[in-house]
Amino acid sequence: MLLGERETPDGVECNKGQEKNNMKMRRVFLPWLFAVIAVVFSINVAGATETDAPGMVTPTSVNAAGVAETDLTDMVPPTITIDQTELNNGGIIKVTGKAPAGQPVFLEVWAEGRSVRASRFDKDVDKETGKRPYIFYITKEMPAYYKIFVPTELQSKIDEEQKQGGKWSVSRLLKDLGADAAYNVPAKAQIDRHQSTLMASIIGSRGALLPVMDAKENKKRSMQLVKTRFRSLDKVFGADIDVKPDGTYSAEIKIRKGLAPGEYKIMTVVGKETKSQAVTFENKISFPTMYLANAGTSMNLIYPFFLTLAVAIFGVLMGAGGGFILNPLLVTLFPVLPHTVVAGTVTPTVLFSQGSGIFNYSKINFISWKLGCGIGVSMILGALIGPKLTEMITLDQFKFAFGWILLVLAALMFWQTTPGYLAKNKKEQAILKEFKRRAEESSKGKN
């Protein structure tokens, strides 16, 4: 209605009718409008859900091995099964399972409840300070067996590290393989460190105990101790996992003979945080194989028995008890034995041959007790220093020093048996004749 016009009764009735028609149209139109909105909304939600599901884009990163890693924090952990739960002095365990597709799969295997001691003396020049730290690291919680298995396609990286020889590194290889998340058990071991000095290290002193390291430093040092304990790269890493595109994987874990008896655990690791529940199997041994706890290995005692018998006969003949012969033979023929355990074991073993040798030599009056007691005092002092010094040197250093000592002794003894030497030293001839005469009299006396 325009301004200034007056409302008539007919106009009022017309407006009322139009309003009624509008009401009817709204009643019919609004339900259909709500229905269309609901359908459109449901389509959008379904599309969004579908996008976030199989085809969703999740944060990814590329690890050091060049493999794309997806953030698996909220995903289902991988599964793992083994074909048997018991081995008899080693064997093969077949592992199968399912992991998120497209991800590298790692297996961490260790001996549960069987720990050994591992130590390392850090005397290498520090690259930053240019000084030698002289710090002694030691732990008694190193697993008797530990190994990380990676996918077969990473074998080339292990081979490349193998070319480094004795300079191979656990930390460097873990980084190259992208398997740092699979290194867990040794990192938790308690490691003590002692600050030594050059003079203290010479006499075998550990030095003053230093404060406890933080978790990061402890993990770093544990990697060095793993190398010291197991020595060979193929005892710590293996590329035996076959991973399929759909995430299923399988591996054959070879547990070699001579390992520790008891429970072993296997755990699957995918990405940085995703891990499976650990599965358990048991390794059993029986006599004559026995477990040597401080060496972390098992051994058939028949072979070292006959070896020691032959060495003792020759050793007593030389008046040495056989320890200087038995030591390098055990290290060479039984490389599973740490050189520290060999050195410590041979010492009391020689007592048996030396005891019987002392008895027999005293019967034929070949012992000078004054000389023996005099040099025995210095042997007591050396026996106190020797064991401490042994744990602070590597196997290579041990072999080098021991080898040169044996070479010098062999050359000296050979020189003393040459005709020219004997001709110039008639006293040596007299001693040999006297030795022969007493031996013959002793033999006649027994008859």
Contact 114, 260 (CB under 8 A): yes
**Which phi and psi (to 5°) does residue 209 adopt?**
-75, 130
CATH match of 81-289 with 3.90.245.10: no
Burial of 204 (0-12, 13-18, 19+ CB in 10 A): middle
Work out the average pLDDT over 398-406: 78
For the ranges 30-39, 54-63, 86-95, 366-375, the one whose mean pLDDT is highest? 86-95
- Measured torsion, CA atoms of residues 354, 357, 359, 361, in degrees rounded to the nearest 10: -130
Q: How many Cα neighbours within 13 Å face the side chain of 312?
A: 17
Where helices occur in 391-425 by DSSP H, the ranges are 395-415, 419-424
pLDDT score for 447:
56
pLDDT top residue among 356 and 235: 235
- The three-state secondary structure class of 358 is helix
Average pLDDT, integer, range 24-30: 52
Average the pLDDT over each of 66-70, 158-162, 268-272, 337-341 and give the range with the smallest value: 66-70
Closest to 308 (Cα-Cα) out of 323, 318, 293 = 323
- For residue 12, pLDDT over 50 is answered with no
Taking residues 344-370, report their average pLDDT. Answer: 75
Q: Which positions ≥6 away from 273 have C-beta within 8 Å? A: 72, 73, 181
* Assigned token pair, 6: 């007056």
With contact defined as beta carbons under 8 Å apart, do 102 and 247 qualify?
yes
3-state SS assignment for residue 49? helix
- Give CA angle at 163 (157, 167), nearest 5°: 105
Stretch 240-257: mean pLDDT? 96
Whether the per-residue pLDDT at 2 is higher than 60: the answer is no
Q: What is the mean pLDDT of residues 203-216?
A: 86
Q: What pLDDT sits at residue 6?
A: 43
* pLDDT value at 104 more than 60: yes
Query: Which pLDDT score is estimated for 314?
Result: 76
**Beta strand pairing call for 135-143 and 208-209:** unpaired
Residues in the chain: 447
Taking a C-beta distance cutoff of 8 angstroms, is the pair 145, 260 a contact? Answer: yes
pLDDT band at 14 (very low <50, low <70, confident <90, very high): very low
Looking at residue 43, its pLDDT comes to 43
pLDDT in tens, 126-142: 888 888 898 999 999 99
Paired tokens of 314: 């020759």
Range list for CATH 2.60.40.1930 in the chain: 81-289
| 8 Å CB contact between 80 and 97 | yes
pLDDT digit string (tens) for 424-438? 776 666 776 777 777
- pLDDT of 341 reads 87
- The CA distance from 71 to 110, in Å, is 27
Question: What is this structure's pTM?
Answer: 0.71
Q: Find residue 425's DSSP bridge partners.
A: none
Do β-strands 115-122 and 68-70 pair in parallel, antiparallel, or remain unpaired?
unpaired
Q: What is the pLDDT of residue 418?
A: 78
pLDDT of the residue at 58: 42
